[in-house]
Structure 1
Amino acid sequence: MAIQISVFIENKEGRIKKAIDTLANAGVNIRALSVGDTTKYGILRLIVSDNEKAIKSLEDDGFIVKESEVIVIAVPDKPNGLNSTLAILDDANINLEYIYAFVSSNPDEAIVAMKVEDTKKAIGVFEKSNAKILSEEDLEKI
Structure 2
Amino acid sequence: MSKAQLSKQILVTTNDKVGEFANVTTALSDAKVNLKGICAWGEEGKAHFALLADNSAAAKSALKNKGFQVAEEDVVTVMLEDKVGAAAAVAKKIKDAGINLDYVYGTVCGCAQTSAMLVISSKENAKVISVING
TM range (shorter): 0.7 to 0.9
Q: In the alignment, what sits opposite 1:27?
A: 32
String of CA shifts for 1:31-82, please: whole Å, max 9, x gaps. Answer: 1111122131121111112111111111111101111111111223222221
Q: Which structure 2 residue ranges, 5 or more long, are not aligned? A: 1-5
Q: Which structure 1 residue ranges, 5 or more long, are not aligned? A: 129-142
Give the total of aligned pairs: 128
Q: Which has the higher contact order (CA 8 A, sep 6+)?
A: 2
- Structure 1 residue identity aligned to 2:126: K
Identity of aligned residues (%): 23
Normalising by structure 1, report the TM-score. 0.82
**1:46-65, aligned counterparts within 5 Å?**
46-65=51-70
Distance 1:79 1:44 in 2: 28
Distance 1:49 1:107 in 2: 17
**1:71-110, aligned counterparts within 5 Å?**
71-102=76-107, 103-106=109-112, 109-110=115-116
Distance 1:104 1:50 in 2: 17
Structure 1 position 45 matched with structure 2 position 50:
yes
Q: In the alignment, what sits opposite 1:116?
A: 122
Moved over 4 A (4+): 106-109
Q: In the alignment, what sits opposite 1:134?
A: none
Taking only aligned residues, the RMSD between alpha carbons, in angstroms, comes to: 1.6
